[in-house]
Amino acid sequence: MILIAGGTGRLGRVLTGTLTRRGLPVRVLTRDPARAASLAGHGIEVVTGDVRDRASLPAAARGADVVVSAVHGLAGPGGVSPATVDYQGNINLIDSARDAGAEFVLVSVVGAAASSPMELVLIALCGCTASDVIGILRKKREPFTGLEVHARGERATEYPTVYREIHLTYRVRGPVSRKAMQDAVNLSKDKYCSVSAMLAKTAKITYNIEHAE
Ligand SMILES: NC(=O)c1ccc[n+]([C@@H]2O[C@H](COP(=O)([O-])OP(=O)(O)OC[C@H]3O[C@@H](n4cnc5c(N)ncnc54)[C@H](OP(=O)(O)O)[C@@H]3O)[C@@H](O)[C@H]2O)c1
């Protein structure tokens, strides 16, 4: 079961649609079930709660494998604010996810910037290889709790200034075996990652892995 706080919002509705089309069970947390009426029609469970009210969250998170936060308190009804929703509300939600034994995914715009087309290419590489590595670690039942992939690229000095060197840093959290992580990254690089395979036509791609327990 995937609990989506903010499932009635713009991003949350895209997410609920994508997950239900894949046949995954979804529950939406909302302050006002009327806003989720159209979702309930699609077999989505609706639960009433408010991230600012800790007591309303354990029932919503019960039985969830993943809790997604797609809420914000920048504007909207009900006297919300970044301090009460984005900060304290997310702390409440993280605590209830932890108590339910669920993974937590935070959707935010932290660090968002207007990326250039060539930066977007590196972002695509990070996203592509990260999803490979996550899939492989899951198949191997490795107990990872987080993965970040960062990329640094050097471009040619002459037009069309393609990437010549790219270095990837994989930061994995949780007691993951070093060999499993190394194998997963190599498989992504040498076999599965389409973006990597295309970029490797012009760039030497190197990587390092950092483990954080
Ligand atoms: N929209 C985008 O293109 C986009 C892109 C990247 C990132 N993001 C990020 O995604 C997140 C959601 O953005 P959005 O544009 O989808 O927002 P939105 O359409 O304004 O929806 C906000 C959601 O937050 C929920 N919410 C607000 N206060 C709440 C509270 N106290 N308790 C429980 N739920 C509460 C609302 O649920 P109810 O009203 O049903 O309670 C609603 O579903 C934000 O962090 C945003 O920065 C959005």
Rounded Cα–Cα distance for residues 119 and 29 (Å): 35
Question: In the chain, what percentage of residues exceed pLDDT 90?
Answer: 86
What mean pLDDT is reported for the chain?
94
Among 75, 62, 74, 77, which Cα is nearest to 29's? 62
**Of 119-123, 173-177, 209-213, which range is least confident?**
209-213
Query: How many whole angstroms from 50 Cα to the centroid of ligand 1?
Result: 12
Whether 58 contacts 96, CB under 8 Å: yes
Query: Which pair of structure tokens corresponds to residue 146?
Result: 């987080």
The band of 52, judged by pLDDT with boundaries at 50, 70 and 90, is: very high
Q: For residue 143, name the pLDDT band (cuts at 50, 70, 90).
A: very high
What lies within 8 Å, CB to CB, of 182 at 6+ separation is 209
| Cβ(150)–Cβ(206) below 8 Å | no
For ligand 1, residues with CB inside 6 Å are 5-6, 8-12, 29-32, 35, 50-52, 70-73, 76, 80, 85, 89, 107-109
User: Probe ligand 1: pick from 3, 4, 11, max atoms within 8 Å of CB?
Assistant: 11
Separation between Cα atoms, residue 49 and residue 182, nearest integer Å? 42
Q: Whose CA is nearest to atom 6 of ligand 1?
A: 109
The structural domains of the chain, ordered by start, are: 2-106 (3.40.50.720), 117-212 (3.30.300.20)
